[in-house]
Amino acid sequence: MKALVKAEAAEGLWMQSAPVPEIGPDDVLIRINKTGICGTDVHIWNWDDWAQRTVPVPLITGHEFAGEIVELGRNVDGLELGQRCSGEGHLIGKKSRQSRAGKFHLDPATRGIGVNEQGAFAEYLRLPAFNVVPLPDAIDDEIGAILDPLGNAVHTALSFDLVGEDVLITGAGPIGIMAAAVARHVGARHVVITDVNQSRLDLAAQVTDVTPVNVTTEDLNDVKTRLRMKEGFDVGLEMSGSQQALDQMVEALVMGGRIALLGIPPGKSPVDWSRIVFKAITLKGVYGREIFETWYKMIAMLENGLDVRRVITHRFGVDDFAEGFAAMRAGTSGKVVLNWR
């Protein structure tokens, strides 16, 4: 089969021929139709410090996918040959307290396909049947291929009650934009998204009803006045990984405001904890998706009118994968989808 492989400890990925995976009794074999390129995949392409510490070489990368089941392990029931699916890319352990309590997304033994284990940038993927998420007819393969990052957006956005609340999102990458769409869908009042990348802010305005703010040219206090907000934002969703953005968010929140953190600042960052304490701010770290509550909720929202398709800005055949990665690395794209069929 064709597979995109981190074949060398150097920048780039390489298209190679690899054996079709052999499945175990509790696995399924999925024929991949479409995949999404993630920021994590860009880190692996760039071979930065994180990738060098984390990713074994050689490795088939990729973890955002949609496809169909073509083989079932002998112990698998509840799934069918030909069934369209996506899947949870976090492979959990079964021994930790968190896992045994059903809090699978908090299992410390978690390993990721395309990061620690063989991934989805290939014509076929082996996946535990437990991780398979069947796709309803209303969700096509293109949207199915971006359910993983949409799940991050949903998990972050639904960390706190947003109904009638004013929401500040820092970071207008694809996940931040999708989180804005989710916030609007579930009933937030004002949704403001900030960034320093104007093309990403323009894309946010195309995807959903949001107030985009370029913080290099506009002050958040002026935005609050324009929106007739008497106090600060109720909820913050930090998606940028920028300490400066987090500092701005803390200043812009009401007393007792709540922040969900998905972005990861590089290295260690100085934090003015006095501002967080004296404003009684609640901080919640968000990792991945709640398995499987997030999947149920986002599929239900998509079936009920949530529309994130315009966040996909580039589509390539898999043989043109280098162009797809170039679009992602340029920092001006939304989601990039590769077609394996």
User: pLDDT (tens digit, 0 to 9) for every residue of the chain, 341 residues total?
Assistant: 999 999 999 999 999 999 999 999 999 999 999 999 999 999 999 999 999 999 999 999 999 999 999 999 999 999 999 999 999 999 999 999 999 999 999 999 999 999 999 999 999 999 999 999 999 999 999 999 999 999 999 999 999 999 999 999 999 999 999 999 999 999 999 999 999 999 999 999 999 999 999 999 999 999 999 999 999 999 999 999 999 999 999 999 999 999 999 998 888 888 899 999 999 999 999 999 999 999 999 999 999 999 999 999 999 999 999 999 999 999 889 999 999 99
- What letter represents residue 339's amino acid? N
**Cis amide prior to 58 (ω within 30 degrees):** yes
Domain boundaries, the chain: 2-146+308-339, 153-285
Using alpha carbons only, give the angle 84, 39, 202 rounded to the nearest 5 degrees: 95
Q: What is the pTM of this model?
A: 0.95
Which residues are registered as beta bridge partners of 336?
37, 314
Residue 190 known to be catalytic: no
pLDDT of residue 308: 98
| CATH number, domain 153-285 | 3.40.50.720
| Annotated catalytic residue within 35, 40, 110, 156 | 40
- Which pLDDT does position 203 carry in this prediction? 97
Q: Residue 197 burial (CB < 10 Å; 0-12/13-18/19+)?
A: middle
The yes-or-no answer on residue 185 being catalytic is no
Q: What is the pLDDT of residue 187?
A: 98
The class (CATH top level) of 2-146+308-339 is: alpha beta
Q: How far apart are CA 89 and CA 151, in angstroms?
A: 11
- Determine the pLDDT at residue 183: 98
Please, which residues have CB within 8 angstroms of residue 116's CB and are 6 or more apart in sequence?
A: 54, 55, 56
Instruction: Let me know: does 250 contact 279? Beta carbons within 8 Å.
Output: yes
Q: Which amino acid is at 284?
A: K
Whether residue 168 contacts residue 258, with contact meaning beta carbons closer than 8 Å, is answered with no
Closest-CA residue to 26 (of 71, 93, 66, 70): 71
| Listed residue (91, 118, 119) closest to 104, CA to CA | 91
Beta-carbon contacts of residue 228 (< 8 Å; ≥ 6 apart): none
Closest CA to 266 of 244, 281, 282, 288: 244
Active-site residue, from 43, 211, 282, 332: 43
